A and B are shown apart, each in its own frame.
Chain A
Amino acid sequence: MNSFIQLSNFPIVFKYWKLFLQGTLVTILLALCTVVIGFVLALLLALMRMSDIRPFRRLGLDKEGHMKEDGAGLAVSKFNPLSFLATAYVEILRSTPVIVQVFIIYYGVFGLIKLPAFTMFGFIKFDRFFPGVVALGMNSGAYLCEIIRSGIQSVDGGQTEAARSLGMSSGQNFRYIILPQAIKNILPAIANEFVVIIKESAITYTIGVQDIMSAVNAVKGATFIITEPLLVATAIYFCLCFPTSKLIAHFERRMSRGDKR
């Protein structure tokens, strides 16, 4: 009789513990690299979206140099190409499935650019791992961009007014006044994104990244056991994500303590 889980299958699965261990390390490394790439990309995108670079600015000014009140010139003068590009990027990445993005990056982009085929730490295939990181990083960059943007915009407008009234430039205001306060606001959200990426990274096994899911697949192929390796994977993912999110919640509470204004 076949029951849902057969305990006798577990010893067979555990013989492949090394695959699961390597898969876990790959997943963690993948998530870490993704968060770093995603954060840098997101900061860039957020700055682009909030920038005030308007090449046709002068069309919105009258002869005396004051802002016009209406007209086509004003509308054109408000056009910001950087912000437009960043917004388009974010909206496209957020409105399409991750797996499509991963395939486009792997088969499309890195089908043209040949990556060196070497292995890191003896078991990570670089030419699979790197496209995975790029695709996930590009995706999480779009989500983190919105997190960073809202974190920056959540800093009270009076802070900017105070800084600017003291003669600070908009750059100094951003660097010394806004960013330190914004980062404190968004750190928990970034850590949460890390948890999301750990789970989302399972999708990269479809392009041959040897993460936890790929270990499941290997065991399945070798032993024709399906449910039990999946349960092992479930346990590993849970052990990665649950304590991390609890830890984040703990630090979030501690940080919001002396924060009442």
Chain B
Amino acid sequence: MATNDNVLISVRDLKKYYKKGTIRALDGISTDINKGDVMAIIGPSGSGKSTFLRSLNLLEEPTGGEIYFDGVDITKKRVRDANGKMVKMDIDLHRQKMGMVFQHFNLFPHKTILENMTIAPVKVKHVPQAEAEEKARTLLDRVGLKGREDSYPIQLSGGQKQRVAIVRALAMEPEVMLFDEPTSALDPEMVGEVLDVMKELANEGMTMVCVTHEMGFAREVGNRVLFLADGKLVEEGSPEQIFDDPKSYRLKDFLSKVL
């Protein structure tokens, strides 16, 4: 299905209905996410931004539509493998390649920072413990948290926790990073440190999809912006198109409220 080699995730007519279709959180969304894209998803609350993002790694099971990741439709229970045989779709395998960062960090409170970062590489990808630890230390150093390896999440500030959450996902060497309002639960003075890490990541060429309320970030770092309202993709374009030349009434109205 993914005809263009550059397309990493292809979403086709994605639907998520509740209560027999009376509530439509996602009402037929189609878009392509290319390698190296930094896609910002904006929209009023309840517009389906988070549902869309969470559908991409199937934390939310869609009611209809297709999501092609690496050419495989991950919304299907069974898929055709390389040899044309029908096999069970292994979502865990695909999730390894999609890092996710949550609004409320979701660090494992019973594990140290280092354990938080090494458990998935060691248990899922079977990376040797020493190697995983070395990588974790390098990553922690990169986000300015050297020396906090043996702390527990509870001992860190919100901004520090979110930076750990980002490098925890990076430790799995994902192909794409999904951010679900990563700065919404932070105190204002800590937003900057998290956005800086995300900017750096974008500059390194990481493919990123960010649901965000930080319009400045969307404009400065994003190369594409999606505007969602009522579960529909209302406008899509470059940050300049979206912020300087909004077409639809909904987007104009939204921007007048947040900018």
Contacts and interface: CB of A to CB of B under 8 A. Distances in A.
Interface of A: 61, 64-67, 69-70, 156, 158-159, 161-169, 172, 176-177, 180-181, 184, 258-261
Q: Top 5 nearest A-B pairs by Cβ distance?
A: A167-B96, A162-B106, A166-B120, A165-B100, A158-B106
Contact of A168 (B109, B124, B152): B124
A69 B17 contact: yes
B93 A166 contact: no
Q: Which of B59, B106, B124, B165 has the most CB of A within 10 A?
A: B106
Contacts of B106: 156, 158-159, 161-162
A70 B17 CA distance: 12
18 contacts: A65-B76, A66-B75, A67-B63, A69-B21, A158-B102, A158-B104, A159-B106, A162-B100, A162-B106, A162-B107, A163-B108, A163-B120, A165-B98, A166-B172, A167-B92, A167-B93, A167-B96, A260-B154
Size range of the chain B interface in the assembly: 35 or more
A167 B110 contact: no
Interface string B209-222: 00000000000000
Nearest to A68: B63
Contacts of B99: 165-166
Given A69-B21, A167-B93, A162 B123 contact: no
Given A65-B78, A181-B110, A70 B92 contact: no
A180 B102 contact: no
B109 to A, nearest CB: 6
B239 interface: no
B18 to A, nearest CB: 9
A164 B108 contact: no
A58 to B, nearest CB: 9
B62 A66 contact: yes
B93 A161 contact: no
A216 to B, nearest CB: 46
Nearest to A162: B106
A159 B248 CA distance: 39
